Structure 1
Amino acid sequence: MSAFSQVFSHPSMGSPAAAGLAPGMSLSAGSSPLHSPKITPHTSPAPRRRSHTPNPANYMVPSSASTPVNNPVSQTPSSGQVIQKETVGGTTYFYTDTTPAPLTGMRSFKNYHRTACRTEGQIIEVFPNYHIYPPTAPHVAYMQPKANAPSFFMADELRQELINRHLITMAQIDQADMPGFRLVNTKCMVLVDMWKKIQHSNIVTLREVFTTKAFAEPSLVFAYDFHAGGETMMSRHFNDPNADAYFTKRKWGQHDGPLPRQHAGLLPESLIWAYIVQLSSALRTIHTAGLACRVMDPTKILITGKTRLRVNCVGVFDVLTFDNSQNNNPLALMAQYQQADLISLGKVVLALACNSLAGIQRENLQKAMELVTINYSSDLKNLILYLLTDQNRMRSVNDIMPMIGARFYTQLDAAQMRNDVIEEDLAKEVQNGRLFRLLAKLGTINERPEFQKDPTWSETGDRYLLKLFRDHLFHQVTEAGAPWIDLSHIISCLNKLDAGVPEKISLISRDEKSVLVVTYSDLKRCFENTFQELIAAANGQL
């Protein structure tokens, strides 16, 4: 597909012929002066984009109508064409339109077309025949945190996050910091194959494990999916060097008792539950597959975005600490490792609740639970106690689901609302590729110094018309002579050009001595023919 190809064809109401201009006036005007036109817009076209086309061509007039035409301004020949006469500034212009006439009695819509015929109980859908940008979806607008959010492009915060991820994707690590390792037993590859089958939204997927000597020594390589911009839970929540000291002095009762959560620097309970839901979901998938996580640790849990968690480095300990005594059954100790996963999950949750790793030390466990009891709900306290307390029976990660309860639906609702916001941002960008191709085509035509040894090529014929359209897009000024810049005007005009709507437009030469009144369908014809001429020359067909 060519880089300048259209995304899709645009519906039109017919194939309007070129506008017939007054005698002596042609679309192929002569060379233009070099100074800027004085086009003085009074209002932004944004309100007009939501209304019917101003000054539309009088098309779709039935040729079989029995009523004689008494209006001297327009005449309807037997062929179904419409000839319209209009006087602007003392100059008379004649317009023709060969759009096929509709059936007698059918109502015509200006600048709109129908997608289906009426049947009993069916509603006719009417759409504009050019690209139009709808407003923000109501369910997204009501939860929009910023009143001045961009209308045509994605949110600045999301854009910056994506740019940062693209930058980090190209980064490399220093291979000298990675020590060598020799794999002594290949029986563990059975576990690697099991890990490669696990796909979960909260697990960094293991893709391949292999040995190599490409780094001047025996090396064992683990290949995982790369999530740019991720940071460990340790880095985000436990990286403050003063946190433990402050936590020890102020939260272990050395003063008048623990401070309220909002004053003690503790995490919101909703954030902790969001982490619990994701980590327990990852453990549930791993344990169901007959494996054990063994890396439930703040240094191995990645956080991307605001609250998205992924368990990293899965399968590493299954390879590095593989016991040769398990040659006959590599899964023999998995049940024991799964119980250790639940204890590790409890320690992670307790550390988050205390906002410090000091809380999971054995000598501080009792005081840490007192802090949780004072500042958090009983469900969170019971969940931590269940995970950290030894049981006489085999426990399962499914046992904590009643403690999570309806909070699971809160996280599901938050994820779906986040998806709605991202889809709305995507909808703002969906047409930008098409508009860029239009501007790129227009840029290859305008101001071309020479074509086929003709230095005046871009200043004559259809190219001159496109040059005036370029001035109409970008070079308008206010009544005071200041530049008039309106993004909605540019986008609206480009959309109408791409669709070739029959709306008329006045193009003024830079010396203000010529006014060309044409339709967007005329401009589109000139635009496509001129660009095809360039393509033919580039391919050596001229």
Structure 2
Amino acid sequence: MSNLPRVESPAFNSKGSNDLGVTKSHGAAPSEAKRKFNMNTPSFQPSVLTHTSKFSALLPKLKDIPTFVPAALEPPSSSSAEGGASLTGRKFNASTPSFTPSNAYDSFSGVTNTPEYTMDGFHAHESAASTGNEQILLSQMAQASTPGPAPMAHSASAFMFHGQVTTPYPLNYHLYSPAPPPRLAGSLNAHETNVNALFIANDLRETVTKRNEAALQTLALLSLPDHVGNYHSVVPIDTTFDTLSKVWGKPTAVYKVNSNVDGLMYALRRIDLTSADQVSSELAFHTAKKWRRLTNPNVVRLKDVFTSVAFGSPTPSLCLVYDYYPLSNTFQEQHVTRKLGVRLEPVSEPLLWTYLVQLVGALLTIHKDDLYAGSSLALSKIIVTSKNRVRLAAVCVDDILNFEDINERMKTKGKTKFLQELQRADISALGRLMAELTASTLPTALRGEFSEELVTRLKTSSTKTFSEEWLSVIRALCDPDPDFNLSDFYTQHLSLRALDVLNGLQDLSDYYEGQLLSEVENGRLFRLLAKLFSLIDRPESDADIGGNAYVLRLFRDFVFHTCEESGKPAVDLSRLLVNLNKLDAGVDENILLVSSDEDTCLIVSYKEVREILELSFRAVFRSG
């Protein structure tokens, strides 16, 4: 009997027509009428429509579609036909190993991100167990027919990939919930506050955390010396790929190093010298003593100068050691050439005024000490260390590289006259620097040296609007008059602008002071918690039922193990801070301490708990 559902035949009326309006044919054969509603009739099966399109012949057939087979699962000696047949049989085999992604870079160095490899922070140790399939996969990846990039040198590949340990997850800088946007933040009364006001601002904390991370970052297995002079832990921090400096015409590099003398971090600038450029006289380092004594908030302080062969070069390299500022960018990286993964900061006239005030102040200090800035007034030699804070980061280089030429000209023209020429060249270099930053608002094809044509382009094609005052200042700096005086220029053009910079620095100081006030008591509360938790969970205190340790445990539960009326655990930071501050101050206020099983209740004051804490801490740690 068929399992098809029963279909009721429509009723016919007396005139021979059914309810559907179809007239019954009385002349039909009896057998045909009998089979009309036969229940044994097979059910309706829709068929695939015939494709009449001209592209129907191009439609793929399921049996012709090849099955993807990982290279590690295919036997190396089997043919493609045999492999296809065997893989078809185990297409849905439960024993087929699952796909495990690996690091493409590590596969070329023989290291894979499988549990069989462990990282100790510096070296990768390969386990003895290694399957044949993994070796086949590695060999096939290395011999892939797909064209790839040109192979790098061994030192370059080791620098970029070898031995680097990648964390499985990025560092979480948001240790607290970020503040909601202003449109979603609820209004608070005068006596109310929120969690974000109790701690340091999230953006400031994230910035400081990233700088600390950059300062402590190391790279393992680099082909760099262990020690260079009195410094160790040499780590490259130069993000540019041009080893040849466009300013000095010599190979240069910048490293982060640690001092053996004071343990602080410094930035070491290495300049490779040829045999013709070697520093042959100790007098070349005499000017470095004057640079070490120079202090200015807009000049990176020079720490040390020496030559070294530790980098393996055939001739000694010149090494200059400066103060280190993590995550600082040059003018070139900040405004002109985009750094990888970082957006360019747009240039505006107020920002340029801020830069000019700081750089002119640095030049006034440098010229006052009978020095000159030289090549440090370049886009790639001035760094932005924080918000709109700039510093000259390559001073004293020209004094050493060009010592013989400078000494010869001083003898010919006189020391005072030639020094004035060098300082005048600083003013022109500052003007060209400001002109380059201003021209960065133009399309690349319209940029060039400062001229009246460039001024016209700035007025017509620039994405920003610049005032006539700013353009006249650039003219005065690029082509200074014979009687040009930098102090008079500062008084005439920058005195009012300097007040704006000063006001901004004072506002920033107030902001940092406010953030410091919110964190100043953290050390006191941390010491209190260290004492408390070093006593309540000691093994010898477990048998002290009803003693001092038991009171401290009850207080711990009273402060940290709070619950709502429904029994749901809750965390109230304001209540937690209030109770800890009262305990630290020893307030004579009674509180009720209840055990978790509600069998014990104690009425004590914060003062008594404080005395118990101090006595217990002294008894435990002084007796030992």
The TM-score bracket by the shorter chain reads 0.5 to 0.7
For 1:273, the equivalent position in structure 2 comes to: 353
Alpha-carbon distance between aligned partners in 1 of 2:291 and 2:196, rounded to the nearest angstrom: 43
For 2:408, the equivalent position in structure 1 comes to: 325
**Counterpart pick for 2:516 among 426, 441, 448:** 426
Contact 1:266 1:354 in 2 (8 A): no
Cα deviation, 1:244-278, whole Å, max 9, x if unaligned, reads xxxxxxxxxxxxxxxxxxxxx96222111111111
3-state DSSP of counterpart to 2:378 = coil
Q: Does 1:520 align with 2:610?
A: no
3-state DSSP of counterpart to 1:512 = coil
Alpha-carbon distance between aligned partners in 2 of 1:167 and 1:292, rounded to the nearest angstrom: 35
Alpha-carbon distance between aligned partners in 2 of 1:277 and 1:148, rounded to the nearest angstrom: 39
Q: Mark the CA change 1:496 to 1:196 in structure 2 (over 3 Å): closer, same or farther.
A: same
Matches within 5 A, 1:296-335: 296-322=377-403, 323=405, 324-326=407-409, 333-335=418-420
Which stretch of structure 1 is more off in the superposition, 343-352 or 327-336? 327-336
For 1:456, the equivalent position in structure 2 comes to: 543
Q: Mark the CA change 1:344 to 1:409 in structure 2 (over 3 Å): closer, same or farther.
A: same
Alpha-carbon distance between aligned partners in 2 of 1:480 and 1:361, rounded to the nearest angstrom: 72
For 1:30, the equivalent position in structure 2 comes to: none
Q: Does 1:158 align with 2:254?
A: no
Contact 2:347 2:441 in 1 (8 A): no
Q: Rg bigger for which structure?
A: 2
Contact 1:287 1:338 in 2 (8 A): yes
Matches within 5 A, 1:136-535: 150-171=196-217, 172-174=234-236, 178=270, 180-181=272-273, 182-217=278-313, 218-240=316-338, 267-294=347-374, 295-322=376-403, 323=405, 324-326=407-409, 333-355=418-440, 361-362=448-449, 365-373=451-459, 375-396=465-486, 398-450=488-540, 455-457=542-544, 459-535=545-621
Letter in 2 for 1:154: I
Letter in 2 for 1:447: D
Letter in 1 for 2:543: T
Which stretch of structure 1 is more off in the superposition, 318-327 or 475-484? 318-327
TM-superposed CA distance for 1:223, in Å, is: 1.3
Contact 2:195 2:573 in 1 (8 A): no
Q: Mark the CA change 1:331 to 1:213 in structure 2 (over 3 Å): closer, same or farther.
A: farther
TM-superposed CA distance for 1:532, in Å, is: 1.0
Alpha-carbon distance between aligned partners in 2 of 1:305 and 1:150, rounded to the nearest angstrom: 23
Alpha-carbon distance between aligned partners in 1 of 2:420 and 2:379, rounded to the nearest angstrom: 23
Contact 1:477 1:483 in 2 (8 A): yes
Q: Mark the CA change 1:356 to 1:303 in structure 2 (over 3 Å): closer, same or farther.
A: same
Alpha-carbon distance between aligned partners in 2 of 1:331 and 1:156, rounded to the nearest angstrom: 53
Alpha-carbon distance between aligned partners in 2 of 1:231 and 1:499, rounded to the nearest angstrom: 47
TM-superposed CA distance for 1:360, in Å, is: 6.0
Alpha-carbon distance between aligned partners in 2 of 1:202 and 1:448, rounded to the nearest angstrom: 54
3-state DSSP of counterpart to 2:538 = coil
Contact 1:188 1:330 in 2 (8 A): no
TM-score (norm 1): 0.63
Q: Mark the CA change 1:267 to 1:148 in structure 2 (over 3 Å): closer, same or farther.
A: farther
Letter in 1 for 2:298: N
Contact 1:339 1:395 in 2 (8 A): no
3-state DSSP of counterpart to 1:150 = helix
TM-superposed CA distance for 1:448, in Å, is: 2.0
Q: Mark the CA change 1:266 to 1:371 in structure 2 (over 3 Å): closer, same or farther.
A: farther
Alpha-carbon distance between aligned partners in 1 of 2:494 and 2:480, rounded to the nearest angstrom: 20
Contact 2:335 2:346 in 1 (8 A): no
Bigger relative contact order, structure 1 or 2, given CA contacts below 8 A and separation 6+?
A: 1
Q: Mark the CA change 1:222 to 1:494 in structure 2 (over 3 Å): closer, same or farther.
A: same
Q: Mark the CA change 1:331 to 1:208 in structure 2 (over 3 Å): closer, same or farther.
A: farther
TM-superposed CA distance for 1:326, in Å, is: 5.0
Alpha-carbon distance between aligned partners in 1 of 2:606 and 2:236, rounded to the nearest angstrom: 58
Unaligned runs of 5+ in 2: 1-192, 218-233, 238-251, 254-269, 340-344
% identical aligned pairs: 32
Letter in 2 for 1:269: E
Alpha-carbon distance between aligned partners in 2 of 1:441 and 1:326, rounded to the nearest angstrom: 70
TM-superposed CA distance for 1:372, in Å, is: 4.3
Letter in 1 for 2:448: Q
Alpha-carbon distance between aligned partners in 1 of 2:200 and 2:415, rounded to the nearest angstrom: 50
Letter in 1 for 2:203: E
For 1:66, the equivalent position in structure 2 comes to: none
Q: Mark the CA change 1:179 to 1:210 in structure 2 (over 3 Å): closer, same or farther.
A: closer
3-state DSSP of counterpart to 2:539 = coil
3-state DSSP of counterpart to 1:528 = helix
Alpha-carbon distance between aligned partners in 1 of 2:588 and 2:325, rounded to the nearest angstrom: 49
TM-superposed CA distance for 1:282, in Å, is: 0.6
TM-superposed CA distance for 1:397, in Å, is: 5.1
3-state DSSP of counterpart to 2:198 = coil
TM-superposed CA distance for 1:150, in Å, is: 2.2
Q: Mark the CA change 1:330 to 1:160 in structure 2 (over 3 Å): closer, same or farther.
A: farther
Alpha-carbon distance between aligned partners in 2 of 1:462 and 1:313, rounded to the nearest angstrom: 62
3-state DSSP of counterpart to 2:197 = coil
Cα deviation, 1:97-131, whole Å, max 9, x if unaligned, reads xxxxxxxxxxxxxxxxxxxxxxxxxxxxxxxxxxx
TM-superposed CA distance for 1:400, in Å, is: 4.0
Matches within 5 A, 1:12-31: none
Letter in 2 for 1:210: F
Contact 1:191 1:330 in 2 (8 A): no
Q: Mark the CA change 1:149 to 1:292 in structure 2 (over 3 Å): closer, same or farther.
A: farther
Alpha-carbon distance between aligned partners in 1 of 2:430 and 2:571, rounded to the nearest angstrom: 56
Contact 2:271 2:318 in 1 (8 A): no
Contact 1:350 1:360 in 2 (8 A): no
For 2:117, the equivalent position in structure 1 comes to: none
Cα deviation, 1:192-244, whole Å, max 9, x if unaligned, reads 12111110000001122122344445232211111112110110100149xxx
Which stretch of structure 1 is more off in the superposition, 225-234 or 410-419? 225-234
Unaligned runs of 5+ in 1: 1-146, 242-264
Alpha-carbon distance between aligned partners in 2 of 1:394 and 1:308, rounded to the nearest angstrom: 27
Contact 1:380 1:403 in 2 (8 A): no
Alignment: residue pair count: 364
Alpha-carbon distance between aligned partners in 2 of 1:266 and 1:533, rounded to the nearest angstrom: 63
TM-score (norm 2): 0.55
For 1:15, the equivalent position in structure 2 comes to: none
Contact 2:427 2:480 in 1 (8 A): no
Q: Mark the CA change 1:184 to 1:331 in structure 2 (over 3 Å): closer, same or farther.
A: farther
Q: Mark the CA change 1:493 to 1:390 in structure 2 (over 3 Å): closer, same or farther.
A: closer
Alpha-carbon distance between aligned partners in 1 of 2:209 and 2:456, rounded to the nearest angstrom: 44
Runs of 4+ in structure 1 over 4 Å off: 174-179, 326-332, 356-360, 371-374
Alpha-carbon distance between aligned partners in 1 of 2:194 and 2:583, rounded to the nearest angstrom: 29
Alpha-carbon distance between aligned partners in 2 of 1:318 and 1:509, rounded to the nearest angstrom: 75
Alpha-carbon distance between aligned partners in 2 of 1:325 and 1:433, rounded to the nearest angstrom: 59
Q: Mark the CA change 1:334 to 1:278 in structure 2 (over 3 Å): closer, same or farther.
A: same
